[in-house]
Structure 1
Amino acid sequence: MTATADLYDERGDELQSLALQLESLGGKPRFEGRIRTIRCFEDNGLVKQVLNSPGTGEVLVIDGGSSLQSALMGDLIGAAAVENGWHGVVIFGAVRDRAALGMLPIGVKALGSNPRKSAKTGDGELDSVLTVGSVVFRPGAGIWCDEDGILVER
């Protein structure tokens, strides 16, 4: 994978750069793929459903409303994502099982962690356009994540 700094130097304004700083919590600090999205709030039912389905080379971007009150993903859902071919997950919210997630061969970026479980009703929106800060995450667009940050195709 090309480093995000080099990719930005090559493509410039074709890419959006996320200013928000996320923690790298998965076993792969560098990952890329096509975007899928979920919007949910303190409920990971839809997250579990999606990451338990094929995601060949895709990156799931979850707008959890920036809530750190409960985790939207843990080690079991992370392991399912690996088994189903997902390259990574970007969560504007919390995860749990940080140590175990760090051992999995998948990229995970999140605001932080909380051991508290979330609701599991499945409330949320799948594959809608998300805006976080000034960055627009469109399903199907390219995303690149590494130690420097996150770049997204316009």
Structure 2
Amino acid sequence: MAIAIALTFATCDLCDAHKGDSTGDFRVLPPVFRDFGGVQKFAGPVVTVKCFEDNTLVKAAVDSPGYLETPQGRVAKVLVVDGGGSLRKALLGGNLGAAAARNGWAGVVIDGCVRDTAELATQAVGIRALASMPMPTEKRQQGQADVAVQVQGVWVRPGDWLYADEDGIVVAAKALV
């Protein structure tokens, strides 16, 4: 299991410290995401998937190790999924949520839907999405991994750092804590 980075951050404090950033290195996601996982506060380096109503690459990601090996130990990663904001199909359900937790992911943020919400709430992983939708996806083997994505109009790139807590989600070009 991955060791979590010290979760001493608060997104409000990060916003206070970076509110004057004009470089685009510090970004805040809109307050449209709901909390579905068993962990409310999470952070880590970003891995991205871009897909539309096809969770093939989401499954591949959460089935893989959800951490990086560093000189300080394992650092849990965050999967950011650009699902095109679709409210018609769920990109993550109970089985994939369990895989994310089992494989050490810190969190999953989905610009789209999830399902099996009662199961997701029991998993030791942060999960944020737009809504719950019981309809599963089609498996068409489509999508892209490790590309810059837009989540609700905000650019998120592989290697960025994402911080999520009770107040919101922020993204930075480098680790902030």
TM-score grouping bracket, smaller chain normalisation? over 0.9
For residue 51 of structure 1, the aligned residue among 37, 58, 62 is: 62
User: 2:135 matched to 1:116?
Assistant: yes
SS of match in other structure, 1:26 = coil
* Deviation larger for 2-11 or 93-102: 2-11
| 1:62 aligned partner, one-letter code | V
The sequence identity of aligned pairs, in percent, is 45
Residue by residue over 1:41-88, the C-alpha shift from the partner in whole angstroms, topping out at 9 and shown as x without a partner, is 101111101110011111000011111111100010111111111000
| 1:143 aligned partner, one-letter code | L
The alignment yields a C-alpha RMSD, in angstroms, of: 1.2
- Once the two structures are TM-superposed, the CA of residue 10 in structure 1 deviates from its matched residue by 2.6
TM-score normalised per structure 2: 0.83
Cα distance change of structure 1 residues 134 and 66 upon mapping to structure 2, 3 Å threshold: closer
Listed as ranges, the matches of 1:18-37 within 5 Å are: 18-37=29-48
For residue 128 of structure 1, the aligned residue among 143, 147, 152 is: 147
Listed as ranges, the matches of 1:51-130 within 5 Å are: 51-56=62-67, 57-130=76-149
2: CA distance between counterparts of 1:133 and 1:80?
Answer: 26
2: CA distance between counterparts of 1:58 and 1:112?
Answer: 22
Identify unmatched segments of 5+ residues in structure 2.
1-6, 68-75
Q: Which residue of 1 aligns with 2:4?
A: none
| 1:145 aligned partner, one-letter code | A
1: CA distance between counterparts of 2:53 and 2:31?
Answer: 20
* Deviation larger for 62-71 or 3-12: 3-12
| 2:161 aligned partner, one-letter code | G
* Structure (1 or 2) with the larger CA radius of gyration: 2
Moved over 4 A (4+): none
| 2:37 aligned partner, one-letter code | G
Q: Which residue of 1 aligns with 2:28?
A: 17
Q: Which residue of 1 aligns with 2:3?
A: none
- Once the two structures are TM-superposed, the CA of residue 133 in structure 1 deviates from its matched residue by 3.7
- Once the two structures are TM-superposed, the CA of residue 20 in structure 1 deviates from its matched residue by 3.9
Structure having the larger proportion of residues in helix = 1
Answer yes or no: is the 8 Å Cα contact 1:91–1:109 preserved in 2: yes
- Once the two structures are TM-superposed, the CA of residue 134 in structure 1 deviates from its matched residue by 4.2
SS of match in other structure, 1:60 = strand
2: CA distance between counterparts of 1:118 and 1:133?
Answer: 20
- Once the two structures are TM-superposed, the CA of residue 18 in structure 1 deviates from its matched residue by 1.2
Residue by residue over 1:88-143, the C-alpha shift from the partner in whole angstroms, topping out at 9 and shown as x without a partner, is 00000000000110111110000001111101222100011012344210100111
